[in-house]
Structure 1
Amino acid sequence: MNHFTIFASKNDIEDVELKISDAFAKGFAIVKSENEYSIKSKALFKKHKFTIRVMSEDTNPDYFTKNIPGMMGYYDNIPFEDDNLKELVLTQISVLNTVIAIESEKEITEEQLLLFSRVLSTIGGIGFLPNGTLLDDEGVVIVYPDGQSGPSDFRPHACTRKIMGQAVSSEEGEQRKNKTIAFLKENAIPYAASLPQLPPIEACQFKTQEDIARRAVALLIVIQFACDVAQGGNVEESRDFFINMLRKYEVEDDLTNNERDFLQAFEPDAQEAINISWQYEAYWTLIWALGFVEKLDVPDEVCDCEHAIQVVSNYETFEQFYQETTMRNQEEILDEADKIYRYHWACVDSRIQEQTAPAGMNESIVMERRRGLFWMIGHRDEAWDTISMDT
């Protein structure tokens, strides 16, 4: 092993240089060039050289655009033995904005790994080993690459910048937030006044009516395949049938990478099939936005799957389906996104407090509806498979 990587969520990287200097103050010579550090041991024997590169979303935005979705996908596909831990890990990854990448000329020794773990503890965040093992900020294993839980009592950490974004606030956003809070009060649902606003309409990157319609049809077809897999059906027959359906409706190109990989897998993963099946709830928000569902009720019961299927199956082509869509206005969609955001906080808070979710809400339903709504408003311009679930 020649690499050790620290991922963190930080408002800035101004203090990183001092923390690196402190960690290698004894026995090492440090040469800095911009955000790269060359570190050499001063020992007469067993000389070592490390290179440390510091990157943030500000200094290296392309790195985060390319690598964080891949990291999300990697850990999303690991069969965690603890689903709650998986959620915590994915939540942490979704708010990472700083990387301290350590590269050694030689194989990293246990002594050096301890030293790097000390750097991790001063900076905070999570440590990533090349085999996929994750460490907490004390160097204790969070999860092993096979999904086995480590001894860490891990809790994600997000800086205020990642939680609140670039401190974007508006009168429109405040009015929307206050309207949602009034609704929550009326229905005895807990809320956090500190939970930030969502962006105003003009700051969102709304998907078009056709984008939403295509996502809905492609997703519904993949969900049907996932249901067959989860129920132990004939995978080959099901795959052939639903690939033909994708082609019939001309939405094969509208699959996400994760969906395409799942559909083409020789032996589709059973847990992934279940995860995709839950996306009926995300699909429900899409067909609501397209006018096929009258109202998004409190997410306490699963959607009407029979109606969900008929919405598309009633039409022979995508064009026929699209012609029957009636797009809701952006304000209405953003209102529902704000509401689901605050529902999600209430669910997470009740789970942390080891209490039942308020109003009988099902957190899995909430998360999937949030996926659909946040994708439609273009929140942080996140892809379908990597919608962040921070609260």
Structure 2
Amino acid sequence: MNNFTIFASMNNTEDIECKISDVFGKGFAIEKNEDDYHIKSKALFNKYKLIIRVMSEDTNPAYFVNNIPGMMNYYNSIPFEDDNLKELVLTQISVLNTVIAIESEKEIKDEQMQLCLSLLSTIGGIGLLPNSTLLDREGVVIVYPDGQSGPSNFRPYACTRKVRVQEAISEEGHQRKNKTLAYLKEKGIPYTDSLPQLPPMKDCQFKIKEDIARRAVALLIVIQFACDVAQGENIGESRDFFINMLRKYEVEASLTDNERAFLNDQQPNVQEAINISWQYEAYWTLIWALGFVEKLDFPEGVCDCEYAIQVVSNYETFEQFYLQSAMRSQEEILDETDKIYRLHWACVDSRIQEQTAPAGMNESIVLERRRGLFWLIGHQNEDWDTISMNT
């Protein structure tokens, strides 16, 4: 391989030059050109040259806007054998703000690789090999490209700058947070005061009714295809049927990129199909927001899948379905979003402590409800497939 990349979450990059010097100072000459470092070996023979490029959200904002969502999509599409590890990796990617790209004119050998790993250890963050294997800060494999877990005991890290920038303080947010905390106390569910407020209604980017309705119908149809894949049905026949359904309801444009790729895959992955089928719970929040579900019950039991299907199948066209919907208020949607946000924290905290989720919650249900609700409020303008799940 000829390149190695370090991704990190850092408050500033001012000390990176010192860290590069500490690692490469012996045996190499270092020349700096703006944010690039040219590393040349001092040996008489077997001369070696590396270029280290440093980019941050401050110096190269376009890189992060264009590449981090793609990185999220890529690792979200990998069939992780450990769903918890997938959540941790996606959480880490969501808070990255620094890239140290190392390029070599020759193939990187063991000796140079050890130096790259030393820099990774010094800087922190995660390392990316050309084949998309991820390493932790100690150089231990987090996950392989096929989704197989490595031996790393990985935990994501976010600098205070990335954590604090997400919090918006408002009286409305304060009242909503306290309302949720009172609900959690009543149910005996643990919580933390440090979990930030969600933005007030005026700062949210709520999806409009038609977009929600189209997303709901498209998602339901993809879920049905995923269920067929998971159950070993005839893939070709199933694909043709559900593509025709998408066209019948005129919602093909509301598929996500991941869903479209899954639907067109000649050999769709079974684990991915199972993951998509769990999105019944995210779909449930959409039809709740559209008025087809009376209330979101406590997330301990799966939704009524038969009813979930009938909500759409009762209508011959999208227009008929849309006309029967009755949009809930933004306040009600945001209240439920705040609640699921803090319930998710309780699930994650219990899992970290190797305890079962409190009050009989099913974390998979909580996770998917959060996906749907955060998408509804337009949280950080994230796409459906890349909703951040950090707590």
Q: TM-score, length-normalised on structure 2?
A: 0.96
Question: Aligned partners of 1:83, 1:294: CA distance in 2, in Å?
Answer: 30
Question: Aligned partners of 2:161, 2:359: CA distance in 1, in Å?
Answer: 31
2:203 maps to which residue? 203
Given that 2:135 and 2:143 are in contact with CA atoms closer than 8 Å, whether structure 1 keeps it comes out as yes
Question: Aligned partners of 1:163, 1:293: CA distance in 2, in Å?
Answer: 34
CA offsets per residue over residues 178-200 of structure 1, 9 Å max, x none? 11111111111100111111111
Question: Aligned partners of 1:133, 1:89: CA distance in 2, in Å?
Answer: 12
1:229 maps to which residue? 229
1:82 maps to which residue? 82
2:384 maps to which residue? 384
Deviation at 1:161, TM superposition (A): 2.9
For structure 1, which segment, 149-158 or 192-201, has the greater mean C-alpha deviation from structure 2 after superposition?
Answer: 149-158
The 3-state SS of whatever aligns with 1:271 is: helix
Question: Aligned partners of 1:191, 1:265: CA distance in 2, in Å?
Answer: 42
Question: Aligned partners of 1:372, 1:59: CA distance in 2, in Å?
Answer: 33
Question: Aligned partners of 1:91, 1:182: CA distance in 2, in Å?
Answer: 27
The 3-state SS of whatever aligns with 1:310 is: helix
Question: Aligned partners of 1:166, 1:349: CA distance in 2, in Å?
Answer: 20
Amino acid aligned to 2:77: N
Aligned 1:1-391 pairs, distance under 5 A: 1-391=1-391
Check 1:346–1:167 CA distance in 2 against 1; reply closer, same or farther (3 A cut): closer
For structure 1, which segment, 327-336 or 253-262, has the greater mean C-alpha deviation from structure 2 after superposition?
Answer: 327-336
For structure 1, which segment, 16-25 or 110-119, has the greater mean C-alpha deviation from structure 2 after superposition?
Answer: 16-25
Given that 1:6 and 1:100 are in contact with CA atoms closer than 8 Å, whether structure 2 keeps it comes out as yes
Given that 1:163 and 1:390 are in contact with CA atoms closer than 8 Å, whether structure 2 keeps it comes out as no
Amino acid aligned to 2:384: W
Amino acid aligned to 2:307: H
Given that 1:41 and 1:48 are in contact with CA atoms closer than 8 Å, whether structure 2 keeps it comes out as yes
Question: Aligned partners of 2:325, 2:59: CA distance in 1, in Å?
Answer: 43
Deviation at 1:167, TM superposition (A): 4.3
Given that 1:136 and 1:154 are in contact with CA atoms closer than 8 Å, whether structure 2 keeps it comes out as yes
Deviation at 1:15, TM superposition (A): 2.3
Check 1:97–1:329 CA distance in 2 against 1; reply closer, same or farther (3 A cut): same
The 3-state SS of whatever aligns with 1:228 is: helix
Given that 2:76 and 2:385 are in contact with CA atoms closer than 8 Å, whether structure 1 keeps it comes out as no
Amino acid aligned to 1:226: A
For structure 1, which segment, 160-169 or 103-112, has the greater mean C-alpha deviation from structure 2 after superposition?
Answer: 160-169
Question: Aligned partners of 1:171, 1:56: CA distance in 2, in Å?
Answer: 33
Question: Aligned partners of 1:195, 1:145: CA distance in 2, in Å?
Answer: 33
Question: Aligned partners of 2:167, 2:179: CA distance in 1, in Å?
Answer: 20
For structure 1, which segment, 156-165 or 369-378, has the greater mean C-alpha deviation from structure 2 after superposition?
Answer: 156-165
Given that 2:37 and 2:53 are in contact with CA atoms closer than 8 Å, whether structure 1 keeps it comes out as yes
The 3-state SS of whatever aligns with 2:40 is: strand
Amino acid aligned to 2:372: G
- Tell me, which stretches of 5 or more residues in structure 2 are unaligned? none
Question: Aligned partners of 1:80, 1:282: CA distance in 2, in Å?
Answer: 20
CA offsets per residue over residues 270-290 of structure 1, 9 Å max, x none? 111101100000000111111
Question: Aligned partners of 1:202, 1:164: CA distance in 2, in Å?
Answer: 20
In the alignment of these two chains, the number of paired residues is: 391
The 3-state SS of whatever aligns with 2:206 is: coil
Amino acid aligned to 2:338: D
Question: Aligned partners of 2:365, 2:166: CA distance in 1, in Å?
Answer: 29
Among the aligned pairs, what percent are the same residue? 79
Question: Aligned partners of 2:150, 2:209: CA distance in 1, in Å?
Answer: 45
Given that 2:79 and 2:269 are in contact with CA atoms closer than 8 Å, whether structure 1 keeps it comes out as no
Check 1:166–1:224 CA distance in 2 against 1; reply closer, same or farther (3 A cut): closer
Amino acid aligned to 1:184: L
Given that 1:128 and 1:135 are in contact with CA atoms closer than 8 Å, whether structure 2 keeps it comes out as yes
The 3-state SS of whatever aligns with 2:142 is: strand
Question: Aligned partners of 1:22, 1:302: CA distance in 2, in Å?
Answer: 54
- Tell me, which stretches of 5 or more residues in structure 1 are unaligned? none
For structure 1, which segment, 120-129 or 173-182, has the greater mean C-alpha deviation from structure 2 after superposition?
Answer: 173-182
Given that 2:289 and 2:328 are in contact with CA atoms closer than 8 Å, whether structure 1 keeps it comes out as yes
Amino acid aligned to 2:239: R
Question: Aligned partners of 1:343, 1:105: CA distance in 2, in Å?
Answer: 50
Q: TM-score, length-normalised on structure 1?
A: 0.96
Deviation at 1:261, TM superposition (A): 0.6
Amino acid aligned to 1:231: Q
Question: Aligned partners of 2:145, 2:78: CA distance in 1, in Å?
Answer: 7
CA offsets per residue over residues 220-241 of structure 1, 9 Å max, x none? 1111111111111111111111
Question: Aligned partners of 1:214, 1:81: CA distance in 2, in Å?
Answer: 31
Superposition RMSD in Å: 1.4
Amino acid aligned to 1:216: A
The 3-state SS of whatever aligns with 1:5 is: strand
Question: Aligned partners of 2:130, 2:333: CA distance in 1, in Å?
Answer: 42
Question: Aligned partners of 1:353, 1:80: CA distance in 2, in Å?
Answer: 22
The 3-state SS of whatever aligns with 1:44 is: coil
